[in-house]
Every structure is written in C-alpha cells, then in structure tokens.
A = this chain, B = another copy of it.
C-alpha cells in the first residue's frame, strides 16, 4: 500500500517500478496536488489500483481551512510583524472557508474588518456576519493590512500596491503565490529590504514602505506552524483509509479514486470529538 502526501511517491513507484505498482493494494493520498494527479491518472485510464482521496474528507478540509486559518492568520502575522490587531483596519479578499477563518479571528481581537468577494453567496454571508463588502480599490488607501484568500491570480495589483499607505502589511493565505502580483514589485524604482526572515519592506521612491510577508507565498505555511493536533487528525483519517482499503472485500473498490466511506469518516470525526470531552 502507498501512503502519500503530494503524490511524489505514487508517481515514482508508477514510473520506476510499474510491476510493483500493479501489485499495490491501494493508495491513500492527503494533498490537493496529489489527489489532482490521481484523478488525471484515472482519467487517462492508467490508474490500475484503487486510491482513496483523504484530502476532501471533512476532518481534513475543515481543519486545513476554517479552523487552522482562524488561528494561523494571527500566529503568522504576530511572528513576522508583532503587529497589534486591536483597532487596525483590515481588508480580507475572499470570504470562503479561509477568509471566514481570518475574518472571525481578526474581528474577535478588535480589528475592523471589511471583505471583498465576487461570489454572491459568500458576499451575502459576509454582510450577515457583520463585515462590510467593498471593492478593494475603495479601501486600499486607508487599510493597515491586506490579506488575500481567494485562490485567484492578481487579486492585489501593482496599482493597488502603489496606493497603499506607509506601513501597510500585505500577505496571502490563499492557494497559490500569485494572488499578490509580487512580480510587479521587482522593478528598479522600488527597493527591497529584508528586515527579517519572511519579511520584506518594499520601499517606494518617496520612502513609503509596504510590508510584504513570505514574498506572497502562503503565510500559514511559511510563517506559522501546523498544530500537532491537526496532523494527528489527518494521520488518523489516513490510517482509517488504509484499513478500509486493506480490509475491503474484492470488488468494493475498483481502479478509481474514492472518497472515504461515510462510516469511516464518521469514525474519524467522533474520535476527534471525543478528544474534547
């Protein structure tokens, strides 16, 4: 059996040891990327063993996004900048699970938070949760922090970076490193000053500084830590997936990618809940 995170091991066995690969009883994969690669393999008709997508199970999704980000946004900002949250004006771009986590945490610590959102369901949720829905251009001049959580490209453009005020902190909690157009900041008229690991001051000719974290990469991965509690929940879910694939009677799983069956998912969930009793 293969237990994988990212799909590299799966790919390596598949390429180098095709004969071994065929005899594998099952693959368990926990990352977005790895799962994506499995689905591609399956689509191409080249997946000759059953695989289990643990990435999309509730114990993985909710913790990776809503619950972890709610904590790591604070942790990541503190460790890099020592910023005080109380009274600060913040715009969070995107009100999906990650954005919801960031907004909840920052609001609770006394920040004044507004939200940009293009999906109307999420935008309405932001409204009803007490966050003003704005366009980034309307607020970019006055905010103390800009946090991206959209999964899209170029959410924060060079033009907007030009208009930010001195000392504005810019960071990314989304899915890629292109939400902030960092490339556009690598121009001769701007000076970069590395003030600390993961913290750059980008300095405009007039002396204005924008504080860029992790060069626009994921703040939660670059500047925070993942609680061992979360790792153990994911590991438990993976172990349950391995057990399921191992014990499954012939024919239950074919050469395809499966989600963890509900019963196993529930076992993982109740195990987690029991931890809090």
A104 to B112, Cβ gap below 8 A? no
B270 to A120, Cβ gap below 8 A? yes
In this complex, which of A79, A82, A127 has the most chain B Cβ atoms within 10 angstroms of its Cβ?
A127
Annotate A214-230 by CB proximity to B: 1 below 8 A, 0 otherwise.
Answer: 00000000001111111
Contacts of A88 in B (CB 8 A): 276
Verify if A128 is at the interface (C-beta below 8 Å from B).
yes
A78 to B71, Cβ gap below 8 A? yes
A165 CB to nearest chain B CB (Å): 11
Chain A 83-119 interface residues, beta-carbon cutoff 8 Å to B: 83-89, 104-105, 107-113
Contacts of A226 in B (CB 8 A): 82
Verify if A162 is at the interface (C-beta below 8 Å from B).
no
A109 to B273, Cβ gap below 8 A? no
A254 CB to nearest chain B CB (Å): 27
Verify if A22 is at the interface (C-beta below 8 Å from B).
no
A109 to B110, Cβ gap below 8 A? no
Contacts of A82 in B (CB 8 A): 225-228
A106 CB to nearest chain B CB (Å): 9
Chain A 42-74 interface residues, beta-carbon cutoff 8 Å to B: 58-59, 62, 66-68, 70-71, 74
Which 7 residue pairs of A and B lie closest in terms of their CB atoms, listed nearest first?
Answer: A108-B108, A120-B269, A84-B227, A87-B127, A86-B128, A110-B130, A87-B276
* A interface residues (Cβ-Cβ under 8 A, vs B): 58-59, 62, 66-68, 70-71, 74-75, 78-79, 82-89, 104-105, 107-113, 120-121, 123-125, 127-133, 224-230, 265-266, 269-270, 272-273, 275-277
